Amino acid sequence: MFEIVKKELLGPKVYRMDIVAPRVARKALPGQFLIVRVGEDGERIPLTVCDDDKENGIVTIVFQVVGAETSKMSMLEEGDCFADVVGPLGNPSDLVYEPIEELKKKKILFIAGGVGTAPVYHQLKWLHEHGVDADCIQGARTKDILILEKEMAEACGNLYFATDDGSFGIHGNVCVALQQLWDEGKRYDHCVVIGPMIMMKFACQLTKELGIPTVASMNTIMVDGTGMCGACRLMVGGEVKFACVDGPEFDGWKIDFDQAMQRSKLYKTEEGRLMLALEEGDTHHGGCGNCGR
C-alpha cells in the first residue's frame, strides 16, 4: 500500500498528492509516468510524474477529476493509501541524456497548458538543479485555473503567463504569447510542449514556422499504459507509435494531431473501437478486452 502524505487542491477539480513510493521515487526521471489504482478492483490511471523526492521516497502526482475513477481518487485523504503505484514507465525526456554543458548552451523553452504544467515542472526542476535555466510559457483559460505558479517561477529562468481572457499575464493563448516573445527578439533552440492536444497541435505548427525544434508529450491519450490496449496509437512521421511504450514524448513536428484527436473520440465507444480494429488491422493492438482480439 502506498500512503498519501500530502493532499492539496490546486484549482477547480485539480489535486496534488505526495505518495510514499521509495522504489519508484529512486528511479523516476523527468518525462516518465506512473500508473495508480485506488483499490484492488480499480481502473489503472496513467499520470506523468510531477515531482520526486528521492531522499524521502516521495513521488508527486497532479490529476484533474474527469470521471468516476479520478473522482474516487479525489476522495482519498492524507493517511489513506493507493492499492498500487507502478513505475516509472515510459521513456525519460531526451534532455536527461544530453551533456549538461551542452544543455547550458541552449535556449530552451517549455510551453505548459492546464494540468500539463505538472510534468513540465518536473523537467524544469531537474534542469534547474543541474544549473540549466529554461524559460516557460504557462497558459490557461483564466487566472483562476493556473496551477503551481510559485513552484514554476522558482524552477524557471523566465516564466511568462498567458490567459485566454486576459485576466493574468499576456492576453491570449500560448501561441499568442510565443509570437509576442519572438517579435520582441526572444530566440530559442529547443521547445517542449505539454498540455491539451489542440494546444500542442497549434503550438507545434507555430514552432515549425519559427524553426524551433519541438518535442510534444502525448501522455494525455494513454489508457492502459503498457502497450496492450492500443488506445494511445498514433502516427509520427508516417510510422505507427504507441505513446506509453514508444513515448510519451515525440517530435512535435511529425505527430499527426488530427488523427490522434479523431482516434481518441472513436476509441471511447464500442462501435468506434471495432471500426478502428477493422481499419488498423495488425497495428491496432489487441489485449484491451473490448475488441474481441
> Domains in the chain, start-ordered, CATH in brackets?
2-89 (2.40.30.10), 94-217 (3.40.50.80), 221-285 (no CATH)
pLDDT at 85 over 70: yes
**Helix H segments across the chain?**
22-27, 68-75, 100-105, 117-129, 149-155, 174-183, 197-210, 243-246, 257-267, 270-280
Q: How confident is the model at residue 231 (pLDDT cuts 50, 70, 90)?
A: confident
pLDDT value at residue 242: 87
- Which 8-state DSSP code applies to residue 57? T
pLDDT at 32 over 70: yes
Q: 84-88, 110-114, 203-207, 243-247: lowest mean pLDDT where?
A: 243-247
Residues contacting 47, CB < 8 A, separation 6+: 33, 34, 35, 36, 61, 62, 63
pTM here is: 0.86
**What average pLDDT score do residues 9-15 get?**
93
Residue written as grid cell 494511445:
232
pLDDT value at residue 265: 65
Q: To the nearest whole percent, how much of the chain has pLDDT over 90?
A: 72
pLDDT value at residue 251: 95
Average pLDDT across the chain, whole number: 88
pLDDT value at residue 18: 97
Q: How confident is the model at residue 285 (pLDDT cuts 50, 70, 90)?
A: low
**What average pLDDT score do residues 99-114 get?**
95
Half-sphere exposure of 85 (CA within 13 A, CB side): 26
The answer to whether 46 and 225 have CB atoms below 8 angstroms apart is yes
